[in-house]
Amino acid sequence: MTIHHDERATALVGEPLESLDGVRAGQPFRIEGPRVSWAAVELLGSARKARRLTRQEAVTTEGRELAVAGMIDERSRRFSPWASSVADILDDSTLSIAGEQSNGTTSERLTAWSDGSRTLITATEPGADDDLRTLEIVGIESTAPRIASWLAIAPAWAFGDPEPLVIDAGLIDARLRDATVEPPEDAGEFLRFAWSQPWTVWTVAVQPADSAMRCIDAGSAGYLGLMGASDGTMTIEAVPSAAVFSSLVAIIERARRA
């Protein structure tokens, strides 16, 4: 078995460290549930009290989508048992989660609701050439791992500069749109390396705790945590991948207990 080493990490610590890039590639995000448009999800939500579509709703594009996906009976227009479970979660929802990730060219979105024991996740699939949402119901204990999978959070070596750096928040958005944007003049060696890597910037916000986290997935450089301030600046620093996952679990748990 051939072990591929991370040349930069190996040089920094002075001993062979395995490249972790293949871990991410081996864990692609997959949902096996139905795929429908966001408009169809909204129609399902608006009809959840009656647990069926009206005749007018059933013949709309969205109504037909739901029927093709097996969520509505074409003859009776009633919700399927699975769609009724979706409606139950929406009725009893006590927390919601909104996620977005962008590589500067394309953006993906995730919306989830939980009743405290089950979570309905709707998400666009990274790399898909459409805006359809795949729906999935998972237990509350699986919510954070599923969202982490959607965000492609994976093990990465964490080597940061000695101190976090405070920069203009607009510089992050500019770099995301244009990879040729130069790093800040006072950036350290690590941040300059991370600046040169492919970026995906993602945000996860959870209600009712009003908690949010924003992070840069900088490829081989690992993760950069972002903390915004009211003066338009942002603190940026390297964060271990384990801490990224732990923070995601923590903000969801905080909202569940709110």
Q: Domain extents for the chain? A: 7-28+152-257, 35-143
> What is the DSSP code string of 140-186?
GGGHHHHHHHHTT---------SS-EEEEHHHHHHHHH-TTSPPPTT
Per-residue model confidence (pLDDT) at position 40: 95
Per-residue model confidence (pLDDT) at position 220: 81
Residue 168's Cβ-side half-sphere holds a number of Cα atoms within 13 Å equal to 9
Per-residue model confidence (pLDDT) at position 36: 94
Q: Which residues contact residue 44 at a Cβ distance below 8 angstroms, ignoring those fewer than 6 apart?
A: 66, 71, 79, 83, 86, 87
pLDDT in tens, the chain (258 residues): 555 656 665 555 556 555 556 555 445 677 778 999 999 999 999 999 999 999 999 999 999 999 999 999 999 999 999 999 999 999 999 999 999 999 999 999 999 999 999 999 999 987 776 779 999 999 999 999 999 999 989 887 777 777 899 999 999 999 999 999 999 999 998 899 899 999 999 999 999 988 999 999 998 888 999 999 999 999 999 998 889 999 999 999 999 887
Q: Which long-range contacts (CB under 8 A, 24 or more apart) does 241-246 make?
A: 241/153, 241/154, 241/155, 241/156, 241/158, 244/153, 244/215, 245/144, 245/148, 245/153
The model's pTM is 0.87
8 Å CB contact between 109 and 124:
yes
Instruction: Please choose, from the candidates 216, 41, 199, the residue with its C-alpha nearest in 3D space to the C-alpha of residue 111.
Output: 41
Output the CA–CA distances (angstroms, integers) from residue 5 to 23, 159, 160, 178, 219, in the order listed.
Answer: 13, 16, 19, 29, 15
Per-residue model confidence (pLDDT) at position 26: 47
